[in-house]
A and B are shown apart, each in its own frame.
Chain A
Amino acid sequence: QKEVEQNSGPLSVPEGAIASLNCTYSDRVSQSFFWYRQYSGKSPELIMSIYSNGDKEDGRFTAQLNKASQYVSLLIRDSQPSDSATYLCAVNIRPNSGYALNFGKGTSLLVTP
């Protein structure tokens, strides 16, 4: 099984700060990368998708991808207490032959007022 690794945390940041979440993956041929947010007892909610090297910004969120280093990150600017959740990094399991996802174990983020 190809691996997706995340620091489990918890990562604690004060309100208004930047939260930085990191993820590494082992399958070099992976093509599609996703960040999901999961609140306790709920299903994952898609935040960002990224397919090319570089940065992708959407509101307060920025995803960064470096395929050479097999590294993907998520930055959350102006963190809010409502951002407190588990953030899951996901990578396509079988690129070019389906879209099932391999998830990391998630990083727990706590934004303190």
Chain B
Amino acid sequence: GAVVSQHPSWVICKSGTSVKIECRSLDFQATTMFWYRQFPKQSLMLMATSNEGSKATYEQGVEKDKFLINHASLTLSTLTVTSAHPEDSSFYICSAVVLRGSSYNEQFFGPGTRLTVL
């Protein structure tokens, strides 16, 4: 199957500190990974597209200097929340796409990282 892992699964930090979240594809290579954020009782919202070997593409309204994304290899993307504040507290979920032929794609999600900023 297509397995995506995330680390850590949860983190609590003080306001103003930075937090790094790792996303790994365990049994396949992922040239593209995605980072989503989910607030309580809300749906997933795409934050950015992480491309191996190039700069990430951020969605409108997402601060690229605050949410640093690095996709250094075909199996690892990292999201760093810099100078975190309580409003950044959320469930961060990464995903990777498995391409099946030229037309079909399926996206698999990591287990998520729950960030709480005090």
B107 touches A103 (CB 8 A): no
Measured between beta carbons, the chain B residues less than 8 angstroms from A99 are 32, 34, 97, 105, 107
Between A and B, 19 residue pairs with Cβ closer than 8 Å are A31-B103, A32-B105, A34-B107, A42-B111, A42-B112, A43-B93, A44-B109, A46-B106, A46-B109, A49-B104, A51-B103, A51-B104, A88-B43, A93-B46, A98-B49, A99-B32, A100-B49, A101-B46, A101-B107
Shortest A5–chain B CB gap in Å is 11
Chain B minimum-CB-distance residue to A96: B103
Chain B minimum-CB-distance residue to A93: B46
Q: Does B28 contact A (CB under 8 A)?
A: no
B46 touches A102 (CB 8 A): yes
A-B contacts, CB under 8 A, total: 55
- Cα distance, A101 to B5, chains bound together (Å): 19
Shortest B22–chain A CB gap in Å is 15
Shortest B95–chain A CB gap in Å is 8
Measured between beta carbons, the chain B residues less than 8 angstroms from A77 are none
A49 touches B46 (CB 8 A): no
- Cα distance, A31 to B102, chains bound together (Å): 13
- Cα distance, A45 to B108, chains bound together (Å): 7
Measured between beta carbons, the chain A residues less than 8 angstroms from B45 are 103
**8 Å CB contact of A43 from B43, B103, B105, B112:** B112
Given A43-B93, A100-B49, also A88-B44 (CB < 8 A): yes
